[in-house]
Amino acid sequence: MAVHILHIDSNHPLLWDQLEQAGFVNHEDFTSSKEEIEAKIQDYQGIVIRSRFKIDQTFLDKATNLQFIARVGAGLESIDCEYAESKNIALIAAPEGNRNAVAEHSLGMILSLFNNLNQADAEIRAGHWNRESNRGQELDGKTVGIIGYGNMGKAFAKKLGGFEVEVLCYDIQENVGDENAKQVSFAELQQKVDVLSLHLPWTPETDKMVNTKFINGFAKSIWIINTSRGKNIVTADLVAALQSGKVLGAGLDVLEYEKLSFETLFQEATTPEAFQYLLNAKNVILTPHIAGWTIESHERLAQVIVDKIKTLYYY
């Protein structure tokens, strides 16, 4: 019996082509609402998504023949994973596909912040040649802390291998440290780091994790890089720390105000005051959730998903 797969987001064409070549039957619907998809989901054994809407219990109850959900991305927070697994639905993600892209983006943000690259570029374009005020600092000699030492954290630590830095990691899993990062307690991380990089999923435990208490627990003033999920940081608390100097600068690829789809920014019509501060801050770099969104990762994510779907059925 043929396995019918519904694609509800566009992806690299190799995903569709290779699944077709492997004998799967592809269907696409990039425009229907969640309710319209629910009305026909019983006809499919597989679904391929990015983040268009949440796969919740209502959706899963209607997906009576669903055998797998494949998300072309790193996290599965848009899926009620526990309920899906209770229905014996396999969950597939592709953190291997964009970990290198995220690592490079994180490193690029640090180097840009340390060397005032965005600020200096803007000033020259405005006709100002300010050398002293754009004097940078070097990454060598610093301690970099990574919270979340999975695919993304490990890839970032590997990139730091070309610098003379101490790399520490903290993770809820034990014994995940390696030759690129020493695993330490959270207390030790807070005592030592100069730069903090977040590589976490968005879970009830990490939601609003980076708040005033969290930030003030660090012994030094720190730089913060977030390429994980926007809701892991309380933006207003981050802004307060930027204003006080407890946070020296921030590189944010993700924002608290993003919609679940990641395709648009605001959940409200008005611009939050904290976000307005970030827009005007010279020591803040903002990018639109593109850390894992390179030309190469677009193809690699699709390939990882194809390989995992094929493995589910053929190996």
Mean pLDDT by 10 residues, the chain (315 residues): 92 95 94 92 94 89 94 88 94 93 97 96 96 96 97 97 97 96 98 97 92 98 97 97 98 89 64 91 95 94 96 83
Per-residue pLDDT at 129: 97
Q: Are 198 and 224 in contact (CB under 8 A)?
A: yes
Kindly state the tokens that stand for 307. Answer: 């390989």
Query: Which of the following is catalytic: 52, 99, 289, 300?
Result: 289
Per-residue pLDDT at 266: 64
H or E stretch covering 248:
strand 247-252
Q: Are 70 and 49 in contact (CB under 8 A)?
A: yes
What CATH number matches the domain at 4-93, 3.40.50.720, 3.50.50.60, 1.10.3720.10, 1.10.1740.10?
Answer: 3.40.50.720
Query: Which of the following is catalytic: 82, 132, 174, 268?
Result: 268
Q: Is 36 a catalytic residue?
A: no
Judged on CB neighbours under 10 Å (0-12, 13-18, 19+), 123 is: middle
Q: Are 281 and 59 in contact (CB under 8 A)?
A: no
Judged on CB neighbours under 10 Å (0-12, 13-18, 19+), 23 is: exposed
- pLDDT tens-digit map of 208-233: 999 999 999 999 999 999 999 999 99
pTM: 0.91
Query: Which of the following is catalytic: 52, 71, 199, 229?
Result: 229
Q: Is 128 a catalytic residue?
A: no
Question: Is the domain defined by 99-286 classed in CATH 3.40.50.720?
Answer: yes
Q: Are 250 and 256 in contact (CB under 8 A)?
A: no
Q: What radius of gyration, in Å, describes the C-alpha atoms of the chain? A: 21
The Cβ of residue 115 has, within 10 Å, a number of other Cβ atoms equal to 16
Q: Is 135 a catalytic residue?
A: no
Could you state, in order of their start, the residue ranges of all structural domains in the chain?
Answer: 4-93, 99-286
Same fold, 4-93 and 99-286: yes
Rounded to whole angstroms, the Cα distance separating 28 from 46 reads 12
